[in-house]
Amino acid sequence: MSTEIRSAIDLYERHPISAEIILAKLTASRGHLNHIKPQELFPYDQDHYGGLDANDALAERAGVGKDTRVVDFCAGLGGPARYLAYRYGADVTGIELTPARVKGAEDLTRRVGLQQKVRIIEGDVLQVPLSDANFDVVVSQEALLHVPDKERTLAEAFRILKPGGRLAFTDWVAHQSAVWS
């Protein structure tokens, strides 16, 4: 396992947003965890800038709709995956490297009854454990910066996409300040 991958796993194993924290916030806001609706998680489970608006922008640009087969690279706790399934009727498979986040995503997804439309599986976007040419869309939000080989990751995205499939992602970009003399 490369140092970069181990570092990403370590970062997200200690990340300040976890399934336990999301459930604690949900309990504080509603008093219990019975019969949670997907939209009740949305204020807490969008672990990226832009929240639901960012999800909607990606969905629009990628043409996500009912029964669109979507793969979410670096899916984390599955917030965007659940949103795409609930809001757009997409069938979403998330790929997540960190075992604790996969477990948390599975728990949250089950609690809101979306396990028929959303699955988060443990895997590496450098070697995606999915078959060729089988998906309509690949999305990713603010995660590719952690991937040590972006070219290989994009090749994996295009490998699993059907002909005419679409890739939509957001990521961090470091801007170098200009120094004028």
Residues labelled catalytic: 142
Question: Position of tokens 């599955």?
Answer: 78
Residues in the chain: 181
Instruction: Identify the bridge partners of residue 171 per DSSP, sorted by sequence position.
Output: none
The structure tokens 């832009």 sit at 50
What are the CA-CA distances from residue 175 to residues 20, 100, 118, 168 (Å)?
Answer: 35, 32, 35, 21
Q: How far is residue 177's CA from residue 167's CA, in Å, rounded to a whole number?
A: 30
Alpha-carbon distance of 68 to 164, in angstroms, equals 13
Q: How far apart are alpha carbons 149 and 151 in whole angstroms?
A: 6
